[in-house]
Amino acid sequence: MVDGILTPVSGGTISRHIYGHFSEHLGRCIYEGIWVGEDASIPHVEGYRTDVLDALRNLKIPVLRWPGGCFADEYHWMDGIGPRESRPTMINTHWGGVTENNHFGTHEFFRLCELIDAEPYICGNLGSGTVREMSEWIEYMTFPGKSPMADLRRKNGREEPFRLKYFGVGNESWGCGGSMTVEHYADEYKRYQVYCRNFGPEPLFKIACGSHDTNWHWTEVMMREVMKINPYGDLRRMQGLSFHYYTVIRHPDLRMKAATGFGPEEYYAILAETLKMEEYLRIHGAIMDKYDPDRRVALVVDEWGTWYAVEPGTNPGFLYQQNTMRDALVAAINLNLFNRNCHRVRMANIAQLVNVLQAVVLTEGDRILMTPTYHVFEMYKGHQDAELVDLKLADRRLEVDGKVLPAVSGSASRAADGSILVTLANLSHDTGETVHLYAPECGDVLEARELYSAGAMDACNTFDNPGEIAPTPMAGVLREDGWLSIPLRPMSVAAVRLAPFPTRA
Ligand code: AHR
């Protein structure tokens, strides 16, 4: 039993962008997974898979990052505009060395965002592109008047500018994006961002390449250097600083462990790894606070999720992996953490949308399945733009193989209509846990759902059995005398919605 208290005291707004996604030209994410082309036999809308569009619409994806990742820093946007048959090809050197035909480019990305009603987040090429190239891409996309790039856009069939707010200035510039020191990148960032002009109705929200894992120095230097000596105020230079953290465990010879075929030891090892996100948000956040006490710069966790060895027999450069209840727990834990840190984390993008890493959707030919991670995003979507409310859980810990983990992860929010959403995850692989919350200022239970698998520990949805793991109504939730009792089964995720607190006339 874990006791707790739920008090509807506001802790700030949970930006819907925390529920964002990432789609790179990597493996079968864009091609096959989303874009099959206008001549495909797979049912499609203008070349986009119908089944994938339907699945994504149901998630209410608020923001989608593209075209990379590492790919962004070798992407030359002009290759991806104009008639598809005359677009030049390139080698996707990072991801399998395959030929990229550039059939999915700027216009196709914006159309995808329109079709799923997501805001676009574009990552520009600082690693191998020029300032001029980046600046002209922004002019192409957003300039409303007459100009060389706006006229080129019109020639390619788009009269009105695209609506673009989120723009990243390079990706992982400490690694695949140019192997730079932070001191060097900070100068480059300042130079490139000057030429990212505001042509649209809304100024660009510029996102600088940030740190990863425990690289505190990167955050420190970016905050110190980019925010100082700015005659216009820091907000004009950098509205967001990114952060990447992947949950990975390895064999002694450093090979990554697999997505399936694990026992309790590896299950807890992954959860312990993912829980490091809490400390990383705290420490990177504290460094940012030093330079930005009003928290105007957003921490943008624009790559996160599990990273395993690829599925046997698949291209090692395509990063295709299965997804189990363990991944659902990882998603639940991280989303609860992002909610609870919404004062600083104002966007997050899980890697990646379809067929790559911790994907929400997998495809094979004309078949599709929704992963357990998909279902967590669906169960949590009520948190989008809701107010974080105070959920305190007693500090009950699990001790396994020398690792100490919280028994239950949770967060709660109040929607505009006053209803409260409580999301919880029971981390234990074999023990149920009843969460007993004192919640006198909340109404009755409107809906209770759980994601749980009675099957093997590494059970997953397959193309032959795509509905093995899916949310179901939850039994046994009790509301009595101001208390709310939620019986969590082992290794499960729950979402309970409560009516607004009844107000008396
Ligand atoms: O998501 C896969 C890769 O991971 C991205 O391209 C890169 O940014 C990160 O290293």
157 with 284, same domain?
A: yes
327 with 471, same domain?
A: no
Q: Ligand 1 in contact with 122 (CB < 6 A)?
A: no
- Distance between Cα 23 and ligand 1 center (Å): 10
- Distance between Cα 70 and ligand 1 center (Å): 6
333 with 397, same domain?
A: no
Task: Give the separation between CA 413 and CA 342, rounded to whole angstroms.
Answer: 11
Phi-psi label, residue 84: left if phi above 0, alpha if psi -120 to 50, beta otherwise: alpha
Q: Which of 385, 420, 439 is the last residue of a domain?
A: 385
322 with 414, same domain?
A: no
Model confidence pLDDT, tens digit, residues 149-172: 999 999 999 999 999 999 999 999
Asked whether residue 505 is domain-assigned, the answer is no
What integer is the mean pLDDT of 275-303? Answer: 97
Q: Ligand 1 in contact with 274 (CB < 6 A)?
A: no
Pairing of strands 433-438, 387-393: unpaired
CATH at residue 461: 2.60.40.1180
Closest residue by CA, ligand 1 atom 8: 69
Q: Which of 244, 245, 352 to mutate to test the pocket of ligand 1 (most atoms within 8 A of CB)?
A: 244
CATH at residue 279: 3.20.20.80
CA distance to 5, 174, 274, 308, per residue, from 279 (Å):
23, 21, 10, 22
Asked whether residue 404 is domain-assigned, the answer is yes
Number of domains in the chain: 2
Model confidence pLDDT, tens digit, residues 45-69: 999 999 999 999 999 999 999 999 9
pLDDT beyond 80 at 6: yes
Task: Give the separation between CA 57 and CA 75, rounded to whole angstroms.
Answer: 27
Split at pLDDT 50, 70, 90, the class of 9 is confident
Find the range with the poorest average confidence among 273-282, 324-333, 374-383, 396-405: 396-405
Asked whether residue 51 is domain-assigned, the answer is yes
Q: What's the mean per-residue pLDDT of the chain?
A: 96
Model confidence pLDDT, tens digit, residues 444-483: 999 999 999 999 999 999 999 999 999 999 999 999 999 9
Exposure class string for 125-143: b at 16+ Cβ within 10 A, else e: bbbebeeebbbbbbbbbbb
381 with 392, same domain?
A: no
Q: Ligand 1 in contact with 188 (CB < 6 A)?
A: no
pLDDT (0 to 100) of residue 250: 97
Asked whether residue 258 is domain-assigned, the answer is yes
Closest residue by CA, ligand 1 atom 5: 69
pLDDT (0 to 100) of residue 236: 74
Q: Which domain holds residue 447?
A: 388-500
Q: Which of 385, 412, 428 is the last residue of a domain?
A: 385
236 with 329, same domain?
A: yes
Q: Which residues are catalytic?
A: 172, 303
Split at pLDDT 50, 70, 90, the class of 232 is low
Asked whether residue 4 is domain-assigned, the answer is no
Global pTM value: 0.97
Q: Percent of the chain beyond pLDDT 70?
A: 98
109 with 45, same domain?
A: yes
Asked whether residue 317 is domain-assigned, the answer is yes
68 with 174, same domain?
A: yes
Asked whether residue 466 is domain-assigned, the answer is yes
Q: Ligand 1 in contact with 68 (CB < 6 A)?
A: yes
Q: Ligand 1 in contact with 171 (CB < 6 A)?
A: yes
pLDDT (0 to 100) of residue 227: 81
- Closest approach atom of ligand 1 to CA 171: 8
Q: Which of 333, 363, 385 is the last residue of a domain?
A: 385
Task: Give the separation between CA 68 and CA 128, rounded to whole angstroms.
Answer: 13
pLDDT (0 to 100) of residue 335: 98
Q: Ligand 1 in contact with 73 (CB < 6 A)?
A: no
Asked whether residue 7 is domain-assigned, the answer is no
Q: Which of 65, 70, 73 to mutate to test the pocket of ligand 1 (most atoms within 8 A of CB)?
A: 70
